[in-house]
Amino acid sequence: MITDYGLQMMGFQPIPSGTVIEAKFMSLNIYEAKGINLVKGKIGAKPKTITGKVESVSENLIFVIGTSVNKCCKALTGESFCENEAKWRSENKSNPPYLLVLSKLPGPATCTKGHWIDEQDIITTHDCFSIPKQQLVKEEATKTSVLVTSLTVMLSSQDHLVTFFPICREVFAETNLGKTLRDVTVTFSGEVTVSRSLTVQKLGKKQAAAISKFNDIHPKVGYFFDLALKEKDRLKAYIYFFLVIEIFTHQTYQSLNHQTIVDALHIIPEKVKVSGTRLLLDQQKDYRSLLPRFIFCAMAKWKEIDDADIDNFLLLKKARDRIYHGEEISDKSLPIPKARSLALKLLSSK
């Protein structure tokens, strides 16, 4: 724990008695969109900058995709993100386009004591707002991850994956003192990805579809899918993708109208209609394990899932079972592309 003297050596001073800081917290997450190139009009055109339409998932969650971090940030917050964008890209080893997601907490947080640096336009506090910052992390885990997942699903296809790699996260707040309160964390990576061109018009349609898909994706599904795409450890990534498949399967199975499905899948003689229906419904209730539920959902709900997908699922489940039973398995042999592809196919199903 840092001492008061240590804080003062860093430039922090005690917040004056009687001072009340009310801060409306929000977080800005910036992602590099890998797998797409934005173009305006016909594919082949190369304008200097493109800023998509600011889309609203809810009152406290908005996003935009574009080729300039500063212009996208200005569209969301009214301010540019950095002084020199070319330098920022070089330092973070990133390339456009970018996805910017702004998450807001619904109400203000209050601080009356602690340490701060009070500058002309910015207030920097030391550990005065830990609770709202934790609330933001929770909001991002349950909503921002789902948004990123829904965009990934809508922009990807079975033969081409679009991903959003986190570049920067900034936590800041608007205060009652007319100044901004900030907290910044930066990470970077330097991967190479093959991209496909996407017009602004088509991007708009995909974004609208992603917003529609947002409400269909369970927070845990979005959370684990987002984790899987970002995870560098192959074993963990595989487990995360399989968890997406597992949770989605159980969620779908529990949402089915089993009475309607029995009527649709079985022709029961009228003379034993009641008894036969009861028997089939009882049999469905016994589907507690993952495999029969997956196959049943493929029969009753998922129009896009076929026998080849079920064979892939069996392969994936076998590898998952070996891991859970403590068997040695090479991470290089893990069928991660198959797990990712099946997860995407399930999430894009109607």
Shared domain for 332 and 253, answered yes or no, is yes
pLDDT exceeds cutoff 80 at 6 = no
Compute the distance between CA of residue 280 and CA of residue 297 in angstroms, rounded to an integer: 15
Shared domain for 32 and 61, answered yes or no, is yes
Shared domain for 105 and 168, answered yes or no, is yes
Number of C-beta neighbours around residue 324 at 10 A: 10
Compute the distance between CA of residue 107 and CA of residue 112 in angstroms, rounded to an integer: 17
Q: Quick check: is 222 in a domain?
A: no
Q: Quick check: is 303 in a domain?
A: yes
Q: Quick check: is 144 in a domain?
A: yes
Beta bridge pairs of residue 21: 111
Shared domain for 315 and 257, answered yes or no, is yes
Compute the average pLDDT of residues 293-317.
88
Domain stops at, among 191, 217, 243? 217
pLDDT category at 71 given cuts 50, 70, 90 is very high
Compute the distance between CA of residue 245 and CA of residue 225 in angstroms, rounded to an integer: 9
pLDDT category at 275 given cuts 50, 70, 90 is low
CB 98 within 8 A of CB 167: yes
Shared domain for 194 and 254, answered yes or no, is no
Which pLDDT belongs to residue 50?
78
Contacts of residue 275, Cβ cutoff 8 Å, sequence gap at least 6 = none
Compute the average pLDDT of residues 238-264.
83
Shared domain for 197 and 242, answered yes or no, is no
Shared domain for 163 and 32, answered yes or no, is yes
Q: State the residue for tokens 């055109």.
A: 45
Q: Quick check: is 227 in a domain?
A: no
* Total domains present in the chain: 2
Nearest to 152 by CA among 275, 6, 296, 31: 31
Shared domain for 284 and 253, answered yes or no, is yes
Shared domain for 201 and 248, answered yes or no, is no
Compute the average pLDDT of residues 294-298.
84
Shared domain for 29 and 129, answered yes or no, is yes
**Does an H or E element contain 9, and which?**
helix 4-9
Compute the average pLDDT of residues 5-9.
70
Shared domain for 192 and 260, answered yes or no, is no
CB 136 within 8 A of CB 105: yes
Q: Quick check: is 226 in a domain?
A: no
Domain span at residue 311?
A: 234-347
Contacts of residue 72, Cβ cutoff 8 Å, sequence gap at least 6 = 51, 64, 65, 66, 81, 98, 100
